[in-house]
């Protein structure tokens, strides 16, 4: 079959690779669409290799049609050859076919195209993992989800709202703020005119601390924001787009019992991904 490989000059090359051979608990998916994630860009740069056991080529989520089913997968699931599915992968999606555990498949929601469905698994799984499994977000609590115009935030914000949480987000300009109003965040901070840390401070003084933060930015603002967390709150770092260092106020971390967590979906076990 064909897959997109990265050559030594970082070019994407449509190349011949071995056909996948399914294990007993796997299905074979004929891929119709694959989504693009930041992790794919990092992998192309040589900075984010796939977990052991996955193909070397990129692609964390796909949609397509089941072409074959292993005996264990057939026994333990209701999947049938010909079913339209989307799938969460550790890699290998930029190809014509992929072998994947049956419990990492999801049916394509009615009315969605293959292209639309391919963009579902990674964003929804990442959001649910961090907001509700790592963060234990509850109705009535406040979630801080910066970078509100990101693809991930476009899922995380309405997901948190659907579960009854209050959401604060941040963007880089007023036009961007206007473009995400449909996500219904309670507060959208325009960081070109307001310091997000100062806004979090005002909210804290008003009795509205942050219970859960899902932070793809990191950098100096992370440490500056921790004093405005609720007791027992959780700050989950999922990327470091704004910087890899910060100064942590240890007294706040200690006295408030704040949980500072680093979290990546890609390196979770298949069992954990299936649970999500």
User: Within this chain, do residues 132 and 256 fall inside the same structural domain, yes or no?
Assistant: yes
Note the pLDDT of residue 267: 86
Per-residue pLDDT reduced to its tens digit, 8-34: 999 999 999 999 999 999 999 999 999
Percent of the chain with pLDDT over 90: 97
Q: Do the domain assignments include residue 90?
A: yes
User: Within this chain, do residues 110 and 137 fall inside the same structural domain, yes or no?
Assistant: no
Residue ending a domain, among 56, 85, 119, is 119
Q: Do the domain assignments include residue 274?
A: no
Burial 71-87 (b: 16+ CB within 10 A, else e): eebbeebebeeebebbb
Q: How far apart are the first and last CA of the chain?
A: 30
User: Within this chain, do residues 103 and 207 fall inside the same structural domain, yes or no?
Assistant: no
Burial 187-206 (b: 16+ CB within 10 A, else e): bbbbbeeeebbebbeebbee
Q: What are phi and psi of 72, to 5 degrees?
A: -65, -40
Per-residue pLDDT reduced to its tens digit, 106-147: 999 999 999 999 999 999 999 999 999 999 999 999 999 999
User: Within this chain, do residues 21 and 92 fall inside the same structural domain, yes or no?
Assistant: yes
Domain span at 15: 2-119
* Structural Rg of the chain based on CA atoms: 20
H or E stretch at 174: helix 174-179
pLDDT of 168 strictly over 90: yes
User: Within this chain, do residues 115 and 131 fall inside the same structural domain, yes or no?
Assistant: no
Cβ contacts of 15-18, under 8 Å, gap ≥ 24: 17/55, 17/57, 17/95
- Cα→Cα distances 9→12, 34, 57, Å: 9, 23, 15
User: Within this chain, do residues 129 and 115 fall inside the same structural domain, yes or no?
Assistant: no
* 125: three-class secondary structure by DSSP: helix
- The total domain count for the chain is 2
Residue ending a domain, among 119, 138, 171, is 119
User: Within this chain, do residues 155 and 258 fall inside the same structural domain, yes or no?
Assistant: yes
Q: Do the domain assignments include residue 44?
A: yes
Per-residue pLDDT reduced to its tens digit, 227-260: 999 999 999 999 999 999 999 999 999 999 999 9
Spatial neighbors of 94 by CB under 8 A, at least 6 apart, are: 3, 4, 34, 40, 57, 58, 59
> Is the separation of the CB atoms in 252 and 258 below 8 Å?
yes
CA pair distance 39, 43, nearest whole angstrom:
6
Per-residue pLDDT reduced to its tens digit, 24-68: 999 999 999 999 999 999 999 999 999 999 999 999 999 999 999
Per-residue pLDDT reduced to its tens digit, 96-109: 999 999 999 999 99
> Is the separation of the CB atoms in 60 and 87 below 8 Å?
no
User: Within this chain, do residues 104 and 158 fall inside the same structural domain, yes or no?
Assistant: no
Q: Do the domain assignments include residue 82?
A: yes
Residue ending a domain, among 104, 119, 134, is 119
User: Within this chain, do residues 68 and 161 fall inside the same structural domain, yes or no?
Assistant: no
User: Within this chain, do residues 246 and 233 fall inside the same structural domain, yes or no?
Assistant: yes
User: Within this chain, do residues 137 and 89 fall inside the same structural domain, yes or no?
Assistant: no
Q: Do the domain assignments include residue 268?
A: no
Note the pLDDT of residue 75: 97
Q: Do the domain assignments include residue 270?
A: no
Spatial neighbors of 34 by CB under 8 A, at least 6 apart, are: 59, 61, 62, 63, 93, 94, 118
User: Within this chain, do residues 12 and 72 fall inside the same structural domain, yes or no?
Assistant: yes
Q: Do the domain assignments include residue 40?
A: yes
Q: Do the domain assignments include residue 21?
A: yes
**pTM, entire model:** 0.93
Confidence band of 191 (pLDDT split at 50, 70, 90) = very high
Q: What is the domain-level CATH number for residue 195?
A: 3.90.180.10
Query: Average pLDDT of the chain?
Result: 97
């Amino acid at each position: 079959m064909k897959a997109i490989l990265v050559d030594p000059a970082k070019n994407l090359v449509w190349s011949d690779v071995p056909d996948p051979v399914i294990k007993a608990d796997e299905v074979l998916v004929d891929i119709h669409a694959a989504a693009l994630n930041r992790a794919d860009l990092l992998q192309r740069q040589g900075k984010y290799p796939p977990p052991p056991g996955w193909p070397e080529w990129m692609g964390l989520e796909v949609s397509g049609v089941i072409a074959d089913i292993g005996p264990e997968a057939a026994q333990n699931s209701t999947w049938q050859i010909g079913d339209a599915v989307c799938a969460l992968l550790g890699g290998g999606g930029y190809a014509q076919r992929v072998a994947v555990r049956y419990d990492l498949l999801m049916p394509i929601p009615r009315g969605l195209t293959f292209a639309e469905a391919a963009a579902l698994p990674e964003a929804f799984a990442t959001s649910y993992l961090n907001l509700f499994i790592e963060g234990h977000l509850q109705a009535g609590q406040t979630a801080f989800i910066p970078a509100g115009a990101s693809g991930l935030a476009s899922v995380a914000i309405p997901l948190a709202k659907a579960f009854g949480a209050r959401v604060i987000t941040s963007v880089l300009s007023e036009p961007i703020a206007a473009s995400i109003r449909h996500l219904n965040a309670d507060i959208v901070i325009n960081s070109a005119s307001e310091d997000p840390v100062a806004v979090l401070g005002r909210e804290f003084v008003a009795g509205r601390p942050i219970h859960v933060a899902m932070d793809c930015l990191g950098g100096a603002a992370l440490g500056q924001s921790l004093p405005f967390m609720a007791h027992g709150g959780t700050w989950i770092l999922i990327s470091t787009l704004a910087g890899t260092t910060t100064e942590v106020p240890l007294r706040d971390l200690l006295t408030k019992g704040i949980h500072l967590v680093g979290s990546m979906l890609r390196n979770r076990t298949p069992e954990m991904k299936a649970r999500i």
